Every structure is written in C-alpha cells, then in structure tokens.
Structure 1
Amino acid sequence: MESKRQQKFGRQIQKDLSDIFQKEFKEIFGKAMVTITDVKMSPDLSAARCYLSFLLADDIDQIMEELDVRNKAIRNALAIRIRKQARIIPHLAFYLDDTAAYAAKIEALFEGLVIPPSDGIPSEEL
C-alpha cells in the first residue's frame, strides 16, 4: 500500500514525464502515442516504476530499448523540472503496461464462448 506522499509524488512524476515525452523526446516514439498509465514510487521516493501504454506503435520493443538508452537524459530533464520540489531525483524504470491488451484478449475469449441452451428445466426446480 502506497502512502499519500508516494501517490502524490507519483502523480507529479507522471505529469512531468508525459510533458517531457511530448515536448522533448517525441522523436523516440515516432508516430506512436504513449500514455503513462501509472507511476509507482518506492517508500523513500528514490525509485519510480513507470508503466507505459502505446497506441499505433510499430515496434514497441525498440521503443522500450530506446527509453532505456536515453534513461539518463530523461532523468536529467525531469530533474530540471522538479529540482525545487524534490530532494532526491528518482531513478526511472520503464515497463510496458499491457493491461488493455490483456483485457481485449479476455473479452475476445468471452465473445467466443458457446453456451448451449438449457433443456427447458427452469433453474428454480434444480
């Protein structure tokens, strides 16, 4: 369970990172749209796990590798934005958030279910 402080700081990191991605590092994503779905902070606020979701992305693995390569530059851009509010600039780790794809897969499975009709016996009699 995250504390209020972790949640508040995570939301601030999420907001600042989305702004940084849109303005300063848009060449990483090309035509793909990126959404930072969640940021989980460590208890001491020194590490941030950032979960990303992509739309219209051709090669997500290549984008994730590029984020790892430019992690230091992204952290530096974040430091410039939050240096007055934070004592420690958190280390960033980027993860792919595939919950939307997982939900679509489960929905497709439900759509594919074939439920045979009952034999005419009302369920109350069972």
Structure 2
Amino acid sequence: MASLLQQELAAVLQRDLPHLFNGGLAPSISMVRVTPDLGQARVYLSLLLGNNATDRLEIIKDNAKEIRHALAKRIRKTARVVPELIFFHDDSAAYAAHMDQVLGTLDIPVAPKEETDENADKPARPRLFNNE
C-alpha cells in the first residue's frame, strides 16, 4: 500500500495539482509509511530543489484535503480506504551532503606502516595447549 501511495502521490503532485507550486518543481516523495489500519499515511517529501522548503511544505499541508481527494480519484478502484495524509520534510539528502562536506574537510593523517613480521607468510596454527 505504501508503494502504491508513493507512486500515485507523485503523479498527483506533478500532473494533477501543479498549480500548488506556481510553476515550480513539485517535491519528490522519498518515503511513505502507512499505519497498520490504513488510517494514516506519513508522507516524507524531499524539498531540495527550489527555495523556502518550509513555505512549500506549508502549502502542501494547507492543501492536504485537495491532495487526498485527487489521490482518491486515482486509486478508487485499487484501494478501499484512502488514508489521512500527514506530510513531513525529509532532509536526509541535505544531511548526507553536509556530512560529505564535513568529511571532505577533515585532515586525517596517514596511518604509520606496520613492521613486517618474518613469519607473516606462514598461516597461523591454532594452539591446542597453553605451553606450545
């Protein structure tokens, strides 16, 4: 059900309700989690492209009823219940980019070379007794 909702919500936001974004790009849906009773669906939106992610999220939250109605029209023959939609901002991609930048700026020294052991070529033999 979560996969179906993710695909259909993406189509609704891009094709059926593009006027919500004033000609801008519709957000991508990174994940949908549905409660076991199918009463609620938590929709995580990736709002990387474009300005003001919080403003865009508020627009989507304000139009949740309209989005749910458009979704109901699309899945009415495959789903018996259309869950209540709760939208969240998914900032995992932005966090990953930030962590990549932080790790790129670290000055990590090269590990010292270990001394080679003359018995390194021989495979280790398990010890059966303490005095071996």
**TM value normalised by structure 2:** 0.79
Show the counterpart of 2:38.
45
- C-alpha distance after superposition, 1:33-79 (max 9, x if no partner): 42111111101111111111124311111111111111001111111
Show the counterpart of 2:106.
113
In the alignment, the residues of structure 1 paired with residue 92 and residue 57 of structure 2 have an alpha-carbon distance, to the nearest angstrom, of 17
The one of 19, 26, 32 aligned to 1:27: 19
Show the counterpart of 1:90.
83
Task: Give yes or no for contact 2:42–2:85 (8 Å, CA) kept in 1.
Answer: yes
State the percentage of identical aligned residues: 38
Show the counterpart of 1:123.
114
Give the drift of 1:82. Answer: 1.4
Task: Give yes or no for contact 2:40–2:85 (8 Å, CA) kept in 1.
Answer: yes
Task: Give yes or no for contact 2:18–2:26 (8 Å, CA) kept in 1.
Answer: no
Distance 1:49 1:122, change over 3 A: same
In the alignment, the residues of structure 1 paired with residue 8 and residue 31 of structure 2 have an alpha-carbon distance, to the nearest angstrom, of 12
Tell which structure's C-alpha radius of gyration is larger: 2
Task: Give yes or no for contact 1:33–1:55 (8 Å, CA) kept in 2.
Answer: no
Task: Give yes or no for contact 1:52–1:96 (8 Å, CA) kept in 2.
Answer: yes
In the alignment, the residues of structure 2 paired with residue 80 and residue 32 of structure 1 have an alpha-carbon distance, to the nearest angstrom, of 23
Q: How many residues align?
A: 115
Residue segments in structure 2 that go unaligned for 5+ positions in a row: 117-132
Residue segments in structure 1 that go unaligned for 5+ positions in a row: 1-8
